[in-house]
Amino acid sequence: MAVALSSKNKMIIQWLRWADNDYVAARSLFNTHFLLQAVVLSTTALEKYLKTIYLMQSKNWPRGAQGHDVSQLYNILNLDLGLNTDYLKLLSKAYSLRYPDDLIPGFNLSLNDTKMLVELDSSVFEVRKGFKITENGKNVETEFDGLLKSESKEIMENNCFFGTVRRADIFSRPSFSYAIRLMGNGGFLEIAYQTEDDVDSSLFNVEALVPGKQGSGATSTA
């Protein structure tokens, strides 16, 4: 028998469903090497998960540009969910690529699909395990819970948090990287390439395509 839900729980489940859908779609894009599109959906997924927490705590979330900045949303929430803040800063920066004509000279970004996928899985795992929805003393199961029980390929593929694959095995495979920089004359430097090296690290927000230097560099731009 279906549980009659309160209006608040209905809203919480709706936001979770929106977040879950973005998460699953982002995973699919990562696994098919649509890196930039996957990063944008990673950002909206985490934004919606964080906004769900605001809703559960009966807090109003920030509006305008700040309301789409996952790094700021996480800071304002003031909860230690174990998320990598350097990763969140990179997502907030990458989100601006939706409108390349609004970028300012010096904007730069460096991404790797395997690294971004694994950190997305880690972040969603940490955030989502805190969601326990009850109504009249009964646990309410979401669509995502059903996908986990059925071991849906969309969630389990290359997933060392919800799935059973080893992290080392994911990073041992070739991956794809992308870097971009907007130059002072308005032109873009871009490069996309296959990466053979192990790129597993906790550093995300690094400077990309530094003129006169080889590689993307490893200096934090925070």
Q: What is the pLDDT of residues 83-138, one digit of tens each?
A: 999 999 999 999 988 888 889 999 999 999 999 999 999 999 999 988 887 777 78
Q: What is the pLDDT, as a whole number, of residue 66?
A: 59
Instruction: Yes or no: say if 18 and 48 are a contact pair by the CB < 8 Å rule.
Output: yes
218: its two tokens? 């490893």
Q: What is the pLDDT, as a whole number, of residue 45?
A: 97
Percent of the chain with pLDDT over 70: 90
Q: What is the pLDDT, as a whole number, of residue 210?
A: 83
- Give the relative orientation of helices 85-95 and 70-77 as an angle to the nearest 10 degrees: 140
Model confidence band, residue 60 (pLDDT cutoffs 50, 70, 90): confident
Segment 184-213 shows an average pLDDT of 88
Whether 172 shows a pLDDT value over 60: the answer reads yes
Q: What is the pLDDT, as a whole number, of residue 165?
A: 96
How are beta strands 188-195 and 175-182 bridged, if at all? Answer: antiparallel
Whether 220 shows a pLDDT value over 60: the answer reads no
Q: What is the pLDDT, as a whole number, of residue 219?
A: 38
> Please, what is the average pLDDT of the chain?
88
- Which domains does the chain carry? 7-95+113-172 (1.20.120)
How are beta strands 175-182 and 108-112 bridged, if at all? Answer: antiparallel
Segment 72-81 shows an average pLDDT of 89
Of residues 213 and 158, more confidence is placed in: 158
Distance CA 8, CA 65 (A): 25
Q: What is the pLDDT, as a whole number, of residue 201?
A: 92
What is the Cα gyration radius of the chain?
A: 18
Segment 208-215 shows an average pLDDT of 72
4-41: pLDDT as tens digits: 667 888 888 899 999 999 999 999 999 999 999 999 99
Query: What is the CB neighbour count within 10 angstroms for residue 84?
Result: 16
Whether 63 shows a pLDDT value over 80: the answer reads no
